[in-house]
Structure 1
Amino acid sequence: MDLKEIQNLIKFVAKSGASEVKLEMDDVKITIKTGSDNETTIVQQVPVQAAAPVVQQQAPAPIAVAPEAPAAPASDDSKYITVKSPIIGTFYRKPAPDKPVFVEVGTDIKEGDVLCVIEAMKLFNEIESEVSGKIVKVLVDDSSPVEFDQPLFLVDPS
């Protein structure tokens, strides 16, 4: 029984006016009680015998995969400097819709060059580079919302 079916069952019991409904299936027991104050309670129990083998079978797979996944990207990106957003807002690669982008992948930049614009509360803030190097990767799509300290660009300082 999936979550959608359980939610529909709760709605049905609440509308029916029944005070308590018990449902027992192979591996699930559900008790729905409605009180006079229209509060609905649900209790779901799954026997330990059914759940334990599933957890034991699935646990080794993520452990084996997890060490390999972060190692590959970390070694590639570790030599690059990450330019992060200093504010929350909307990221724009161009100064205006009809203008060219500030920087592309492969663009050589120096300290003080404008990399992008972030709009916050109708103010457009130019984000300047604090490092010199070459843009390796643009990490955010144009016109996307960004958070404080979110990575925007990867720069190769060499």
Structure 2
Amino acid sequence: MAVARDDGRQESPEERADRQWGELLQELRVAQTGVQILFGFLLAVVFQPRFAELAEADRTIYVVTVILGSSTAAALIGPVSYHRLLSGRRMKPQTVAWAARLTILGLVLLFCTMCSALLLILRVALHNQLALWLVAGMALWFAVCWFVFPLWAIARDNRQEATSSES
């Protein structure tokens, strides 16, 4: 049975949604800026003279990376559209929930985009299998920083909460 959390805040569901929306916007500003810069660079690559020299596999990685980058941008910009279209309809808690889901999807897509972009760059730069190992190491690092640490903190907090509720 889940125990209701008392976070010490005295706020209505609407006030909580307003606060959570503000926090989410701050997070999105950081992620959106990076994605937009990365995506801009990706779009410019195809117009570089050396692009024609890329091997077929590298061109395929490039296309996948551009698709992932555009999907990432859509997911991380989506919450703004969602909020704008639902604004004034007294649906702020639902808007925050869906925007948070889109943001998490955007982070997963960003993870894939970063790994794909790294693979392309390192394959072109190194011309050997070391590229794949370096990307795997970076993917692991991204996963640990972005997903494992937060999930570990949640699990740790849940264990502490369960221990304190048993006392």
TM-score bucket of the superposed structures, by smaller chain: under 0.3
Instruction: Report the structure number with the largest CA radius of gyration.
Output: 1
Give TM-score, length-normalised by structure 2. 0.18
Give the structure with the larger strand fraction: 1
Give the structure with the larger helix fraction: 2
